[in-house]
Amino acid sequence: MNDILSVFDMLAWFPENISTFGQELDNLFAVIYWISVAIFFLTFGLMGYFMWKYRAREGGRGYNYHGNNIVEITWTILPTILFAGIGVYSDAIWETTKYSSKMPKPDVEIIVLGKQFGWYFLYPGADGTFGRNAYNDRTARALMSATNPFGIDENDPASADDFVVENQFRVPVNANVMVRGSSIDVLHSFFLPHARVKQDVVPGTWMNIWFNLFKTGTYELACAELCGGGHYAMRAEYQVLSKSGYDAWLDQKAMEKAAALAPPAAAAPAEGETPAADAGTDTGNDTGDVWSE
């Protein structure tokens, strides 16, 4: 019997669960899945049986049939009870995963922006606090640009260690991670299959997404909303790191940012390396050399 059932068990196709609330979600999924399997065989089995029983026969006569109140009331009430029951059963896990008021106190906060076709992440750095940006201050939206998608106000001292990465998502293990998600163009869906997280991100508003992952490793991050021609490429890997590994990564990023902001003393152009020296390499491409004329 188990061998027969395992043929239909698509639940085995799920990726490994690494989320604290994942098992509860998988149980809900399993209940709905097996109810669907049972109803599928019941309805199609009956349909096949009746097709055979009432098949065309020599001398058979069709007759008009104007419904049956008992049957119609039954097939209205039974699904109503079934769907209401699934609704009540799933409410607890829905509250746990999606209600902002029920989310645990975050250990780590990250801001994510979907874009065609990738993901920008803003980390608060080692101090764990974001400086002024478009998420926490609407007026900072004026600072948003292609090179500053989060509208970070670098004049705010708290912004000094805030850093942005593209398609490089890192979270610590065994921590309540709160992600504030939005999009800079169209609808995207922030999908972490192993973490059992899937949340649409919508331009113009912020969605709260939380999870707590109990296993370190490298996993898949994908966009689960058909968002344009490059949708297929909107995937990346993310890492669940040990606490020390995560802190080391934050320190490394802070150093990289400090180096990038430092005065470019060593990078000063050498003599003879003026823009004019490039003139001879002009390819004739109109969009190439913005410095000419």
Binding site for Cu ion (CB under 5 A): 188, 223, 227, 234
Give me the least distance between CB of 225 and Cu ion, in Å please: 5
Cβ pair 121, 165 in contact under 8 A: yes
**Of the two residues 173 and 201, which places its CB atom closer to Cu ion in the complex?**
201
Give me the least distance between CB of 119 and Cu ion, in Å please: 9
Give me the least distance between CB of 206 and Cu ion, in Å please: 17
Give me the least distance between CB of 191 and Cu ion, in Å please: 9
Distance CA 282, CA 289 (A): 7
**Of the two residues 209 and 223, which places its CB atom closer to Cu ion in the complex?**
223
Give me the least distance between CB of 224 and Cu ion, in Å please: 8
**Of the two residues 5 and 233, which places its CB atom closer to Cu ion in the complex?**
233
**Of the two residues 110 and 223, which places its CB atom closer to Cu ion in the complex?**
223
**Of the two residues 188 and 196, which places its CB atom closer to Cu ion in the complex?**
188
Give me the least distance between CB of 231 and Cu ion, in Å please: 5
Secondary structure (DSSP) of the chain: -HHHHHHH-GGGGSPPP-BTTHHHHHHHHHHHHHHHHHHHHHHHHHHHHHHHHT---TT---------HHHHHHHHHHHHHHHHHHHHHHHHHHHHHH-GGGPPPPSEEEEEEEETTEEEEEE-TTTT---S-TTT-GGGGGG--SS-TT---TTSGGGTT-EEEES-EEEETTS-EEEEEEESSS-EEEEEGGGTEEEEE-TTS-EEEEE-B---EEEEEEE-S--STTGGG-EEEEEEE-HHHHHHHHHHHHHHHHHHHS--STTPPPTT--GGGGGGG----TTT-TT--
Give me the least distance between CB of 116 and Cu ion, in Å please: 7
**Of the two residues 153 and 225, which places its CB atom closer to Cu ion in the complex?**
225
**Of the two residues 103 and 165, which places its CB atom closer to Cu ion in the complex?**
165
